[in-house]
Amino acid sequence: MTSKPTVLDLEKYIDQEVSVKFQGGREVRGILKGFDPLVNVVLDECVETLRDPNDAYRLTDKTRRLGLVVCRGLQVSLVCPNEGLQEIENPFGQQPQI
Protein backbone atom coordinates (compact mmCIF):
# COMPACT_ATOMS: atom_id res chain seq x y z
CA MET A 1 0.00 0.00 0.00
CA THR A 2 1.47 3.33 -1.00
CA SER A 3 0.42 6.42 0.88
CA LYS A 4 0.28 9.71 -0.94
CA PRO A 5 3.15 12.05 -0.09
CA THR A 6 2.20 14.64 2.48
CA VAL A 7 3.09 18.30 2.52
CA LEU A 8 4.10 18.00 6.16
CA ASP A 9 7.01 15.61 5.63
CA LEU A 10 8.77 15.98 8.94
CA GLU A 11 10.73 12.76 8.37
CA LYS A 12 13.75 14.67 7.06
CA TYR A 13 13.97 16.75 10.24
CA ILE A 14 14.13 13.74 12.59
CA ASP A 15 17.03 14.14 15.06
CA GLN A 16 17.40 17.81 14.10
CA GLU A 17 16.56 20.81 16.24
CA VAL A 18 13.20 22.36 15.32
CA SER A 19 11.07 25.23 16.60
CA VAL A 20 7.39 24.68 17.31
CA LYS A 21 4.88 27.50 17.74
CA PHE A 22 1.42 27.08 19.20
CA GLN A 23 -1.89 28.83 18.93
CA GLY A 24 -2.03 31.21 21.86
CA GLY A 25 1.62 32.25 21.54
CA ARG A 26 3.72 29.53 23.23
CA GLU A 27 6.99 28.68 21.54
CA VAL A 28 9.42 25.81 22.12
CA ARG A 29 12.44 24.24 20.47
CA GLY A 30 13.87 20.76 20.74
CA ILE A 31 15.18 17.76 18.86
CA LEU A 32 12.47 16.13 16.73
CA LYS A 33 12.07 12.50 17.76
CA GLY A 34 8.72 11.64 16.22
CA PHE A 35 5.39 12.80 14.84
CA ASP A 36 2.09 11.48 13.50
CA PRO A 37 -0.32 12.51 10.71
CA LEU A 38 -2.13 14.90 13.10
CA VAL A 39 1.21 16.69 13.65
CA ASN A 40 1.41 15.61 17.27
CA VAL A 41 5.16 16.00 17.76
CA VAL A 42 7.71 14.43 20.11
CA LEU A 43 10.63 16.69 21.06
CA ASP A 44 13.64 15.78 23.18
CA GLU A 45 15.71 18.25 25.25
CA CYS A 46 12.85 20.67 24.78
CA VAL A 47 13.23 24.29 25.91
CA GLU A 48 10.31 26.70 26.15
CA THR A 49 10.89 30.39 25.52
CA LEU A 50 8.96 32.22 28.22
CA ARG A 51 6.67 35.10 27.42
CA ASP A 52 6.05 38.51 28.84
CA PRO A 53 3.57 37.98 31.72
CA ASN A 54 1.60 40.99 30.54
CA ASP A 55 1.67 40.18 26.82
CA ALA A 56 1.18 36.54 25.80
CA TYR A 57 2.53 37.19 22.31
CA ARG A 58 5.80 38.88 23.34
CA LEU A 59 8.74 36.54 23.93
CA THR A 60 11.41 37.29 26.50
CA ASP A 61 15.01 36.02 26.62
CA LYS A 62 14.03 33.75 29.53
CA THR A 63 13.74 30.02 28.88
CA ARG A 64 12.88 26.91 30.88
CA ARG A 65 13.92 23.30 30.31
CA LEU A 66 11.11 20.79 29.79
CA GLY A 67 13.02 17.70 28.59
CA LEU A 68 11.19 15.03 26.56
CA VAL A 69 7.75 16.34 25.59
CA VAL A 70 4.74 15.66 23.39
CA CYS A 71 3.28 18.66 21.56
CA ARG A 72 -0.43 18.43 20.81
CA GLY A 73 -1.09 18.64 17.08
CA LEU A 74 -4.41 20.41 17.53
CA GLN A 75 -2.63 23.45 18.98
CA VAL A 76 0.53 23.38 16.83
CA SER A 77 0.59 26.19 14.30
CA LEU A 78 4.16 26.00 12.98
CA VAL A 79 7.07 23.54 12.88
CA CYS A 80 10.35 24.65 11.33
CA PRO A 81 13.96 23.42 11.36
CA ASN A 82 16.34 25.69 13.24
CA GLU A 83 19.15 25.10 10.76
CA GLY A 84 19.14 27.96 8.27
CA LEU A 85 16.86 30.02 10.47
CA GLN A 86 17.95 33.60 10.87
CA GLU A 87 16.34 36.56 12.49
CA ILE A 88 16.03 39.63 10.30
CA GLU A 89 15.57 43.23 11.20
CA ASN A 90 11.97 44.37 11.21
CA PRO A 91 11.43 45.49 7.59
CA PHE A 92 8.55 47.72 8.65
CA GLY A 93 10.72 49.77 11.00
CA GLN A 94 8.99 51.15 14.06
CA GLN A 95 5.86 49.22 14.96
CA PRO A 96 2.84 51.50 14.88
CA GLN A 97 1.29 52.07 18.28
CA ILE A 98 -2.17 50.57 18.47
- Positions touching other proteins (CB under 8 A) are 3, 10-11, 14, 22-24, 26, 28, 32-37, 40-42, 46-50, 53-54, 56, 60-75
Tell me how far, at minimum, the Cβ of 92 lies from other proteins, in Å. Answer: 23
Residue (9 or 89) nearer to other proteins, CB: 9
Residue (54 or 94) nearer to other proteins, CB: 54
Distance CA 92, CA 96 (A): 9
Q: How many CA atoms lie within 13 A of 32 on its CB side?
A: 23
In degrees, to the nearest 5, what angle opens at C-alpha 64 toward C-alphas 61 and 26?
Answer: 75
Report the candidate in 18, 20, 21 with the shortest Cα–Cα distance to residue 32: 18
Residue (9 or 93) nearer to other proteins, CB: 9
